[in-house]
Amino acid sequence: QKEVEQNSGPLSVPEGAIASLNCTYSDRVSQSFFWYRQYSGKSPELIMSIYSNGDKEDGRFTAQLNKASQYVSLLIRDSQPSDSATYLCAVRARAAGNKLTFGGGTRVLVKP
């Protein structure tokens, strides 16, 4: 079992709809959770971080964390074609020396 798992997609959503991305992790002592956006051939760019259970909203993005279920999600509201990218989930556990472990990413396609 991978430490951080994501559905590879592609997740196809119409413009203006909500895109819902999921990520599960195996290490129960994980403390910090990140969502990165990566356009094809470009470097990852941090879009959200979340550290406690519940929801965190930033503009059109909402991250949701449920530590009991070892699950973190990202919602993209009012999806735009410019949101078409791969979204990487990353998890940090202090026991792992503060290193980040990345999932394989979910490719999102927003169709006009």
Partner 1 sequence: DADVTQTPRNRITKTGKRIMLECSQTKGHDRMYWYRQDPGLGLQLIYYSFDVKDINKGEISDGYSVSRQAQAKFSLSLESAIPNQTALYFCATSDRQSTSTDTQYFGPGTRLTVL
Interface residues toward partner 1, by CB under 8 A: 4, 6, 8, 32, 34, 41-46, 49, 51, 88, 92, 97-105
Distance CA 43, CA 11 (A): 20
Radius of gyration (Cα) for the chain, nearest Å?
Answer: 13
- In terms of CB distance, is 17 or 100 closer to partner 1? 100
HSE-CB for 89 with a 13 A CA cutoff: 31
**Distance linking the first and last C-alpha atoms of the chain:** 36
Q: Which is nearer to partner 1, 70 or 101 (CB)?
A: 101
Nearer residue to partner 1 within complex by CB, 34 or 64: 34
How far apart, in whole angstroms, are the C-alpha atoms of residue 112 and residue 110? 7
